[in-house]
Amino acid sequence: MRVSVIMPCYNAADWIGVALRSLLNQTVLPHEIIVVDDGSDDESAEIAESFGAPVRVLRVPNGGAARARKTGVAEASGDALMFMDADDLIAPDSLAALAGCLSAHPGQIALTPWYRYEQVNGAVWLPRPASCPPRRPEHDDLQAWLSGWYHPPCAVLWSRAAYERSGGWDEDLAVNQDGDIMMRGLVRGNRLVLTRTGAAFYRRLPGETATVSGGRSTRKGVQSRLRVLDRITGMLEEEHRTPFYANELRLAYKDVKDSCPSEFGDLRTWADGALYALPRRRAAKARSAGLPICDQTIRPSADTLPRPILATSPAVSVVIPTWNRAEIALRAVNSVLEQSFRDLELIVVDDASTDDTVERLRAVTDTRLRIVRQSVNQGVAAARNRGLAEARAPLVAFLDSDDLWRPDKLERQVAAMQAASPRVGILYCGIENRAPDTRDRWPPVARGPVFEAMLEKNLLHGLPSTGLFRREVFDMVGGFDTSFPAIEDFEMWLRITRFWEVDFVPETLASYYDGKDTDTAGLRRSRNLVANNAARDMFHQRYARDMRAASVEHEFLLESARRRAEEGGLARWRAARSVLKAIRYRPQASKLYAWLPLILMKPQLRDRIVDRIRALRHPAAFERPDKSADAN
């Protein structure tokens, strides 16, 4: 099946690059992506053209999104059509699921689950639940859409037949163009099928809520909404089906009337007239079978479109955040400047140190070093975000100021990233703990799509110091979340792996020092139990829906309980509540019942009992928490 994606674009230079990247990261690639630039006066068209095939750019005079979409359809050659806005995203398995759904249900319309994509804390982009009422089980497709349930264009794949049945986009409407084309098609026999996998992310830009709601309540907006309802009512009357939909039509007209400003008296009268003309009773009907769900997907292809890393200078931006670590920060800086890979810039973000960190760093004469000083101490997440804002290269690496790199670290990783699939957003390596009394190593093991596995635990040990990142990943998901008291890096990797794959070079190319000289704050963030457990609570609250869908929520809660029990005292009772919560979500998991009394014991007694049980019968069920350097 050939899928044509049509993307209307008007002044979307800030977003179109990551929207196109999410399409080119698909496990099944679109046949073509037609960007219709609607008279932009920014660099949107040039950014789109830089991607090359299968992206094709059409430049047209400004005429609105509907006209741009119609222009794209006229040029499209696909069997299926997606209309994706230039600021939206789709998960990597979305096209495979949608195309598989249409293959199983030819001539219809496939939908994928969707989320709002919203900015929080000024820098972080997160999925939020769909902002529409849930579909009632007794509703058919048209009743549901009239009642406010819907899917945005980026979550919809139209068969060519279904699109032609709908009659196409109406460019004369000011608002509700997507609702109009969908409902016209539903009246004429189109049917909806929901995929079980895939996801679309409908971006809500800062301040957009007021803009959109304001547009709906303008004179043109109210007129357009009434015209859509009049058109659907008329089509139903022609087929003598109005009584069947009378209740939903009445609610829809009433919603328009209630949101119509009082100064538009003629439009309120229009709505009143339509309400009066609707039948008072609805004919008896059979219960709807509900929205069918399709599990079929197109087999992912091993082929990917090459996405060359731009030959800019510098090729890599390295960011080191530091605070009051004068001696060891200089050691980390030297390990970067002594890399065999020379085409880099090094940005050290000093988080308002009160020692002589800055003075020592200014003595370094290498012109690749830039020092950025925060005026007030804001924490490591804010320091990394500042470094990202300053970075100029297409590849980004981070190094904590108490870690070190082997001299060939960047050389090995840059070569591997250039050879990797363009779907790889993170490429990492092994790390060793060079504490005075140990040389523990953590080799890399996780690769490919790891989002669901990462919902349970962090598989990417050693990040960020072991990683090399495409700059695009941060453009897509935003920066580190400064509201987290710990594990803000784990939360970032989870956001990235929702859209990107990971890969690694197997060698140990980074060192982690666990000595007292590296512990400026008196306790490393990853070992601060109270902060770590508070952050895990925040993490669970944010990703509980995803954890439940992946059937790993109980495992995450159990690990949180184990960690909280380490605090001792009353924290053990809070840990027990976490186990009870895990039991509620997965009552069939027998190990949860075994852990409930163990959590309440003193650590020494619990450890002896667990060691005995593990030795006798159940090593997997009673494994200890991960004690590695990045035990998030």
Residue reference for tokens 């992310």: 201
Rounded average pLDDT over 309-335: 91
SS3 string, 92-132, reads CCHHHHHHHHHHHCCCCEEECCEEEEEEECCCEEEEECCCC
- Which of 79-93, 140-154, 568-582 is predicted least confidently? 568-582
Residue 626 within a domain: no
pLDDT on residue 280: 74
Average pLDDT score over residue span 89-106:
97
Helix ranges (DSSP H) in 259-374: 265-277, 326-337, 357-362
Residues 124 and 197 occupy one common structural domain = yes
Alpha-carbon gap, residue 296 to 97, rounded angstroms: 7
The token pair at 75 is 């040029």
Q: 559 and 514 in one domain?
A: no
**570: pLDDT confidence band, cut at 50, 70 and 90?**
confident
In the prediction, which pLDDT does 129 show? 94
Q: What is the CATH number of the domain that holds 132?
A: 3.90.550.10
When pLDDT is cut at 50, 70 and 90, the band that residue 515 belongs to is low
Q: Which residues neighbour 582 within 8 Å (Cβ) at sequence distance 6 or greater?
A: 553, 554, 555, 557, 558, 561, 589, 592
Q: How many domains does the chain have?
A: 3
Give the max Cα distance, the chain. 85
Same domain membership, residue 194 and residue 84: yes
pLDDT tens-digit series, residues 164-195: 999 999 999 999 999 999 999 999 999 999 99
Task: Give the DSSP letter string of 191-253.
Answer: -EEEESS--EEEEE-TTHHHHHHHHHTSHHHHHHHHHHHHHHHHHHHHTT-GGGGHHHHHHHH
Q: Are residues 418 and 369 in the same domain?
A: yes
pLDDT category of residue 607 using cuts at 50, 70 and 90: confident
Asked if residue 541 and residue 487 are part of one domain, the reply reads no
Residues 56 and 197 in one domain: yes
Per the domain annotation, does 310 fall within a domain?
no
Paired with 201 in beta bridges are 89, 115
Among 83-97, 306-320, 346-360, 472-486, which stretch is predicted with the lowest mean pLDDT?
Answer: 306-320
568: pLDDT strictly greater than 90? no
Task: Return mean pLDDT, the chain.
Answer: 91
Q: Do 485 and 610 share a domain, yes or no?
A: no
CA atoms within a 13 Å half-sphere pointing along the CA-CB vector of 388: 20
Mean pLDDT to the nearest integer, 339-355 = 96
The confidence score (pLDDT) of residue 209 equals 58
Q: What angle do CA 118, 124, 129 make, to 5 degrees?
A: 30
On the question of pLDDT at 290 being above 70, the answer is yes
Task: Find out whether 112 and 200 touch, Cβ atoms under 8 Å.
Answer: yes
Domain boundary among the residues 213, 244, 277 is at 213
Name the domain boundary from 453, 487, 518.
518
Do 533 and 495 share a structural domain? no
In-domain check, residue 460: yes
pLDDT tens, position by position, 209-265: 555 555 888 999 999 999 999 999 999 999 999 999 999 999 999 999 999 999 999
**Is 627 domain-assigned?**
no
Query: What does the pLDDT read at residue 413?
Result: 98
pLDDT at position 98 over 70: yes
**Model confidence band, residue 526 (pLDDT cutoffs 50, 70, 90):** low
In a domain, 97, yes or no: yes
The answer to whether residues 505 and 543 belong to one domain is: no
- Which pLDDT belongs to residue 622? 52
Q: What is the mean pLDDT of residues 438-456?
A: 92
| Assigned domain for 629 exists | no
Residues 536, 508 share a domain: no
The residue among 518, 537, 564 that closes a domain is 518
Q: Tell me, yes or no, whether 267 lies in a domain.
A: no
Same domain, 535 and 512: no
Q: How many CA atoms lie within 13 A of 209 on its CB side?
A: 6
**Cβ 38 vs Cβ 65: under 8 Å:** yes
In a domain, 292, yes or no: no
Do residue 497 and residue 604 come from a single domain?
no
Residue 623 pLDDT: 55
Residue-number span of the structural domain to which 372 is assigned: 316-518
Q: Is 629's pLDDT higher than 50? A: no
Q: State the pLDDT at residue 523.
A: 41
